[in-house]
């Protein structure tokens, strides 16, 4: 532990020290590209139809030529793109003509809001409205007129939260020229500094059938759209109206639920209130918070000794979630929002939630206060999260996080548990100009929490975690080396810690050449991953892994193929029940296996993936197969199926597990979508159905209809059958008004 006290010392000292650029650190690059926005006359309007016929578009300055990023970095695009920006006091308009020499090859399948466009032609853009090179708004669309958006927060990499749904609109059109679009973004949708007449802006276009990516600015492969520091400039902005910065979003919901033949018909109302305290700092209040429209978790079968991580899916906690991230990719989660309002996967009523997020000068700020109702044997809880990051130099940060979990006594007549506090600090040094044009990163962190046992004897080292990581994330060569220690009693009350009591060293190096001699292949990859994990108490080796990517081929078509070999050492210091009735005894285990995976490009009407894995597994042998298929017969309709089968043969016992998921989606337009899935696994023997209708009445106002049902498999003497465990339907409507 002593050798790693420096991690916390560096972070805490940096928080207190005056921060200023060091000579030679991240010298500014060449003058960024720029163009001027045209202000509309008092009688001019833009009719949003996707066709740039208004005279204002003819008078506007073009953004200029795009530059290819893939497949040829710095090359000329094979299809030209024209982009223009005009604005009125209330609305920003973006118009683009995306020329295509083969209009029949344009792909625009997906219509559902915020869905991925990995199989479609697309047009993406970002707006850095504070010109800080760190934050921004992300938008995207495709030839079908999909609306996709999110909040960006960049430092050592990029963080994108697509749970933000801005109020804006887009219309697209097709013709012999290719396709075109017109976009209207009300200024009230955006936070911005009204004193600035220049914003950061960037655009990216994808021609999917060619797997071609082109950008207006930041075309280098170690730059890209999501690093707003490499964006260009939009000038000529003045006199924009932000309104009052107040947003009101009431909702009403009714439901019908049946569990074990007990029926209830609850109804509820609530509201969300957002207010811009400053142009860059937003306060939010959610009363009687409801998550009826949230999709169910994707099922997984766990054959490890440690709990699985399931991502957050609730909008209230996902919006601006990147502000609360702490030392990402370092395996430390002092705050995990799923610890709020969920116990063993079951919802706990949230009475209210409040949130403060944004920037104040060089600081990124995040504050969360939530109160949950009593549930079962758990009393009401007050949960607090505070996060601050100080931005310095051009791409570096230093920050701190604090959480508090205060749990009331059930029934109010017993002593309540002691409040649980967690405090952490993290440092992130990043530059994209190492050796001229390379990315280089150093991260460190330290996290501590108090002892929830008043008579506890756990030391500070037992209740803390610390680590450091060096990272070289570049195109042809990638490498990193990390070291971390987690104390024996490290369990932050609002965090996620699947394993503790260890010290871990983990280097990785990858070589990904682009073979000019093999025209069909865009990039190859070879990688060596090594992990050495030892018990903290006696330094005895507990886990060792050597994972080799023997070959990975990424084809120009978008298809991929890989071969991997994994070699593992595990020491069990207690028996491990890997499956019902199958218990692995205390001993050392060495095993290895080989995996092969192939994946076809997602733009095809029928695409899929298949992977095989076979070899030694713990004390015996194991084999697994993963397969998936996706069918897109017509635009707006997708049907997919995924299957995972595992066959394990051990001296202690043999078993198989199966997990199946079938999903479907129908999008009548970008405003109406129906999605659903059916899941089944042989461990729980439960079939789960989830369906959801979303109708966007107007941007910001939605109607939802959700139906769920679960069946349990029950073998009977005469016949097998599935019996209903629970079922229910919920309707919800919300409305957004901005002042």
Domain parsing of the chain, residue ranges:
32-235
Q: Are 349 and 373 in contact (CB under 8 A)?
A: yes
Who's near 505: CB < 8 A, 6+ residues apart? 481, 482, 483, 531, 532
Q: Which pLDDT value is given to residue 720?
A: 64
404: nearest Cα among 390, 389, 387, 388: 387
Q: Which pLDDT value is given to residue 443?
A: 96
Q: Which residue has the tokens 């990688």?
A: 527
The residues that bridge with 664 in the sheet, in sequence order, are 639, 676
Helix (H, G, I), strand (E, B) or coil at 591: strand
| Local structure of residue 574 (DSSP, 8 states) | S
Q: Which residue has the tokens 């090179």?
A: 133
Length of the chain: 739
Q: Parallel, antiparallel, or unpaired for β 81-87 and 38-39? A: parallel
As a whole number of angstroms, the distance between CA 428 and CA 155 comes to 8
As a whole number of angstroms, the distance between CA 193 and CA 188 comes to 12
CA distances from 579 to 167, 305, 330 (A): 49, 11, 30
Q: Are 204 and 213 in contact (CB under 8 A)?
A: yes
As a whole number of angstroms, the distance between CA 594 and CA 386 comes to 45
Q: Which pLDDT value is given to residue 308?
A: 81
As a whole number of angstroms, the distance between CA 108 and CA 669 comes to 12
How many helices, marked H, and strands, marked E, lie in the chain?
Answer: 3, 44
As a whole number of angstroms, the distance between CA 144 and CA 124 comes to 14
As a whole number of angstroms, the distance between CA 737 and CA 739 comes to 7
As a whole number of angstroms, the distance between CA 214 and CA 125 comes to 12
Q: Locate all alpha helices (DSSP H) within 257-352, ordered by sequence.
A: 315-318
As a whole number of angstroms, the distance between CA 532 and CA 507 comes to 9
Q: What CATH code is assigned to 32-235?
A: 2.60.40.1190
Q: Which pLDDT value is given to residue 2?
A: 41
Q: How many C-beta atoms surround the C-beta of residue 6 within 10 A?
A: 14
CA distances from 285 to 171, 249, 312, 339, 474 (A): 33, 10, 19, 19, 41
Q: Which pLDDT value is given to residue 24?
A: 33
Q: Is the pTM of this model over 0.85?
A: yes
Q: Which pLDDT value is given to residue 525?
A: 97
Q: Which pLDDT value is given to residue 521?
A: 97
Q: Which pLDDT value is given to residue 260?
A: 77
488: nearest Cα among 453, 513, 464, 521: 464
Q: Are 4 and 466 in contact (CB under 8 A)?
A: yes
Taking the CA atoms of 556, 662, 676 and 248 in sequence, report the sign of the dihedral they define: negative
| Local structure of residue 634 (DSSP, 8 states) | S
Helix (H, G, I), strand (E, B) or coil at 209: helix
Mean pLDDT by 10 residues, the chain (739 residues): 42 40 41 94 93 96 95 96 97 97 96 92 96 91 95 67 86 96 94 92 97 96 89 95 86 88 85 89 87 75 83 80 88 91 80 91 93 83 95 92 89 72 96 90 96 80 95 95 96 93 97 96 98 95 97 96 97 93 95 97 95 96 97 95 96 95 94 95 91 91 93 69 86 88
Q: Locate all alpha helices (DSSP H) within 212-347, ordered by sequence.
A: 315-318
As a whole number of angstroms, the distance between CA 129 and CA 465 comes to 37
């Amino acid at each position: 532990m002593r050798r790693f006290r420096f991690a916390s010392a560096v972070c805490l000292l940096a928080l207190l020290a005056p921060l200023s650029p060091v000579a030679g650190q991240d010298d500014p690059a060449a003058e960024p590209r720029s163009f001027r926005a045209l202000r509309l006359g008092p009688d001019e309007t833009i009719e949003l139809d996707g066709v740039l016929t208004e005279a204002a578009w003819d008078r506007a300055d073009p953004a200029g030529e795009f530059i290819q990023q893939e497949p040829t970095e710095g090359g000329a695009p094979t299809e030209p793109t024209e982009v223009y920006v005009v604005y009125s006091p209330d609305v920003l308009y973006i118009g683009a003509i995306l020329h295509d020499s083969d209009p029949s090859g344009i792909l625009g399948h997906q219509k559902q809001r915020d869905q991925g466009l990995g199989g479609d032609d697309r047009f993406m853009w970002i707006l850095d409205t504070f010109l800080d090179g760190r934050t921004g708004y992300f938008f995207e669309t495709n030839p079908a007129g999909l609306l996709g958006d999110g909040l960006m927060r960049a430092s050592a990499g990029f963080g994108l939260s697509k749970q933000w749904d801005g109020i804006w609109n887009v219309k697209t059109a097709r013709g012999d020229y290719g396709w075109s679009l017109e976009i209207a973004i009300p200024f009230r949708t955006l936070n911005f500094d009204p004193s600035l007449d220049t914003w950061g802006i960037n655009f990216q276009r994808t021609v999917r059938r060619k797997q071609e990516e082109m950008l207006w600015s930041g075309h280098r492969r170690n730059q890209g759209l999501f690093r707003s520091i490499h964006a260009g400039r939009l000038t000529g902005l003045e006199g924009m109206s932000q309104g009052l910065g107040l947003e009101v979003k009431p909702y009403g919901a009714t439901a019908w639920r049946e569990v074990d033949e007990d029926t209830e018909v609850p109804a509820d109302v609530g509201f969300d209130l957002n207010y811009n305290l400053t142009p860059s700092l937003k306060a939010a209040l959610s009363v009687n918070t409801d998550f009826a429209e949230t999709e169910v978790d994707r099922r997984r079968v766990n054959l490890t000794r440690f709990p699985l991580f399931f991502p957050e899916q609730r909008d209230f906690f996902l919006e601006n979630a990147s502000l609360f991230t702490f030392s990402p990719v370092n395996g430390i989660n002092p705050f995990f929002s799923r610890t709020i309002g969920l116990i063993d996967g079951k919802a706990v009523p949230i009475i209210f939630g409040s949130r403060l997020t944004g920037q104040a000068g060089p600081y990124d700020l995040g504050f969360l206060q939530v109160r949950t109702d009593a549930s079962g044997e758990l009393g009401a809880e007050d949960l607090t999260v505070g996060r601050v990051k100080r931005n310095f130099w051009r791409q570096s940060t230093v920050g701190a996080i604090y959480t508090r979990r205060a749990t009331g006594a059930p029934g109010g007549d017993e002593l309540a548990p002691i409040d649980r506090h967690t405090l952490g600090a993290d440092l992130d040094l990043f530059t994209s100009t190492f050796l001229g044009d390379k990315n280089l990163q150093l991260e460190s962190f330290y996290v501590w929490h108090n002892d929830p046992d008043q008579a506890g004897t756990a030391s500070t080292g037992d209740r803390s975690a610390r680590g450091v990581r060096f990272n070289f994330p570049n195109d042809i060569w990638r490498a990193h080396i990390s070291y971390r220690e987690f104390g024996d009693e490290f369990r932050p009350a609002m965090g996620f810690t699947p394993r503790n009591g260890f010290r871990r060293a983990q280097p990785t190096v990858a070589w990904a050449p682009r073979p000019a001699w093999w025209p069909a292949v865009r990039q190859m990859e070879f990688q060596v991953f090594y992990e050495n994990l030892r018990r903290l108490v006696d330094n005895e080796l507990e886990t060792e892994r050597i994972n080799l990517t023997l070959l990975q081929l990424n084809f120009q078509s978008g298809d991929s193929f890989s071969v991997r070999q994994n070699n593992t050492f595990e020491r069990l210091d207690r028996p491990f029940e890997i499956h019902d009735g199958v218990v692995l005894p205390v001993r050392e285990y060495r095993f290895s296996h080989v995996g092969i995976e192939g994946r076809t490009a997602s733009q095809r009407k029928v695409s899929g993936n298949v992977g095989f894995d076979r070899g030694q597994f713990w004390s015996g042998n194991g084999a697994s197969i993963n397969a998936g298929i996706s069918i897109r017969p017509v635009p707006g309709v997708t049907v997919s199926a995924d299957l995972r089968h595992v066959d394990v043969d051990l001296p202690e016992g043999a078993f198989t597990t199966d997990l199946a998921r079938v999903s479907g989606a129908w999008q009548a337009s970008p405003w109406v979508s129906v999605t659903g899935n059916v899941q089944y696994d042989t461990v729980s023997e439960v079939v789960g159905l989830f369906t959801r209708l979303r109708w966007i009445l107007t941007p910001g106002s939605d109607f939802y209809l959700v139906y769920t049902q679960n069946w349990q498999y029950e073998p009977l003497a005469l016949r097998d059958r599935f019996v209903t465990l629970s079922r229910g339907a919920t309707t919800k409507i919300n409305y957004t008004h901005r002042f």
